[in-house]
Every structure is written in C-alpha cells, then in structure tokens.
A and B are shown apart, each in its own frame.
Chain A
Amino acid sequence: MYITFRLMSIENRVRYFRFMRGELSQADLAGKAGVSRQTIVAIEKGNYNPSVELALRLARSLATTVEDLFALVEDAP
C-alpha cells in the first residue's frame, strides 16, 4: 500500500478576525490566548502553526471557530 502525501499548507485569518473584533491589538489577543505577542505575529505571518489547543484558545478569544480561523489549502504543484 502506498501513502501519497500532497503538499498542503495552513492559511490563517487571524488578522481579519482581529480587525472584525474592533481592531483588537496583537498584545490583547496574546493576553487572551495566554501566549506571547511574538507568537501571534508568527502565526499571522504563517511562520508558526499552532497546536490544536492554541488554535481552540485563539478561536475562543476571537469568538469564532477553528475552521473559520484556519484552513488547509493545497499548494500549487
């Protein structure tokens, strides 16, 4: 049996939801989610993919769902 891995990447809409929540600052979101501001910066830039736990905490802090916040997209070949 062969397992084929397709190249996928995670896109996030953290910046969009911060804007939608009255331009919530990165520091405020970091405080709500219990992480450092640098971690929020890294997530927004796509340099760091959060764990399920952190994704859930971010979604709760932004009053949305994980599916709305993060999406799995197939990379172009």
Chain B
Amino acid sequence: MTNRTLNIIRGAWIAATALLAAAWNGDAWVLLIVLPALGPILREVAPASDIDERQRLLDYRASHYALIVTYVLLFVLFARSWFQLKHEPPIELWLLLVAPLVVRTVISVAQGFGVRKMALILGFVCGAVWLAFSTAEHPLSPESAVGLSIIAFTALGIRWPRLGGALLALDAVAFAIFLIPKGVQNSHGDWVGVLVMTLALPLPPLLAGLGLIGSSVRAAKPTQDEFGDLRRTT
C-alpha cells in the first residue's frame, strides 16, 4: 500500500462519515475518531511500500509517543477521579488502562516465549481471574464453573494442545452466545458498553485456544534449515 492509497481511503472515510451524518444522524461524526488509527491499522495489514525503513521507524515512534501521551492523560484522569472528585474512576477508564497493558504483555510473551506458552499463560491467568472474581461474588456459583473449565481445558492443552485449544475456543464461543443476548437484554439502554464487555470476556479464552491449535499445527510442519529437513534420514 502507498501513502496515496492511504490518503484516498482516509478521504473516502471522511466523505462516508459526512454522508452518514447528513442522511442519518449527526452522531455519525463519532466515526472520525477512528481516523488517526486508520493509517497504523492498515499499515499492519499492508505495509506502506513507498516509505523506507527509517520513515517506518519514525512512524512507529510517533505511535509509541502517542501511546505515552494517552497514558499520561489517563494518569491525570485517574488522579482527578480519586483525589478531586472523590469517586471510583468509570469502567471506561479502567478498560483504557488495562487493554493496552494486556495487548503489550501478550505480544511480548508470544515473541519471547513462543505462541504455545503465551496461550497457556493466557488460559491459566484468564481462568484464575474469572474464578477469583466469581468466587468472591458468589462462592461456588455456576459462574465459577466457567473459570474452572478454562483452567481445566488449558491444563488439557499442555498434553493435547489441539483438544485443549478446541475446547477453549468452543468454551469462548458458547460463552459469547450465552452472554451477548443476555447482556444486551439487561443493558438498560447501555447496549454498546454491555456489548464491549461481553465481547471482551470470551476473547482471552478464544485467543488461548486458537494459539494452542496454531502452535500445534506449526510444530507439526517439518522444520527446514540450510541442510534441509534433518528428520529425513534417507
């Protein structure tokens, strides 16, 4: 993808937003907030072919500094909430704080220890957190079974990664099918917030399951080096 293509996509996005705002509702202007992230997201899919490695590095650095600024602002908002307004910060702020940390940790672990270990850590941590919160709220409730099942399927994935991974993914899908309609029904109008929360909950077990399956499939492929596949002796 070239910068020109990217600018055409950006222009089309702005035009589509303006049309939507004129034809439907002024609230459609909210779509413009996505605009600064559109370039970095598209470049992850199709790297810009008309910029060189130094320009790409500068691009990454700019995004890195943007993240730092976001975190500084988050710190100010948290401090304001606790010390000035004297109340608990809203759930959106917590989500903004936790989501980048989780993404960063998951990517670091996957790159440092491999996808298999990342999937196992994600499964165990997500199951343990789920179990801790559900047990703290209602001891031995059906919600605790969800956390236990995530831990059990992850443990199964140590010996049988494809089976454990498939069960984790199925667990996540079943979880989403069960949670989303129920959540939206009880949302009291805040269906966007409930939808985000209900999508965020099955995502870690789904990622863990897909990671286990993916690493197992990759490990099954013969490895090649400069001498060819060393496992073939003939």
A: residues with CB less than 8 A from B are 34-36, 38-39, 42, 48, 50-51, 53-54
B88 at the binding interface (Cβ < 8 Å): no
* Interface window among B6-14, B20-28, B50-58: B50-58
- What is the size, in residues, of chain B's interface with A at 8 Å between Cβ atoms? 6
Least CB distance from B164 to A in Å reads: 37
Contact between A48 and B54 (Cβ–Cβ < 8 Å)? yes
A54 vs B156: C-alpha distance when bound (angstroms): 46
Contact between A50 and B53 (Cβ–Cβ < 8 Å)? yes
Known interface pairs A35-B52, A50-B54, A51-B53; 15 further A-B residue pairs with C-beta atoms within 8 A, sorted by A's residue number = A34-B52, A35-B54, A36-B52, A36-B54, A36-B55, A38-B54, A38-B55, A39-B52, A39-B54, A39-B55, A42-B54, A48-B54, A48-B57, A50-B53, A53-B53
Once A and B bind, how many residue pairs between them come within 8 Å at the CB atom? 23
Chain B residues with CB below 8 A from A48, complex form: 54, 57
Least CB distance from B49 to A in Å reads: 10
A19 vs B55: C-alpha distance when bound (angstroms): 26
Chain A residues with CB below 8 A from B54, complex form: 35-36, 38-39, 42, 48, 50
Least CB distance from A46 to B in Å reads: 13
Least CB distance from A29 to B in Å reads: 13
Interface string of B42-65 (1 = CB under 8 A from A): 000000000111110100000000
Chain A residues with CB below 8 A from B53, complex form: 35, 39, 50-51, 53-54
A35 vs B57: C-alpha distance when bound (angstroms): 13
Chain A residues with CB below 8 A from B52, complex form: 34-36, 39, 54
Least CB distance from A31 to B in Å reads: 12
Instruction: Please list 12 pairs of residues, one from A and one from B, whose beta carbons are closer than 8 Å in the complex, sorted by A's number.
Output: A34-B52, A36-B54, A38-B55, A39-B54, A39-B55, A42-B54, A48-B54, A48-B57, A50-B53, A51-B53, A53-B53, A54-B52
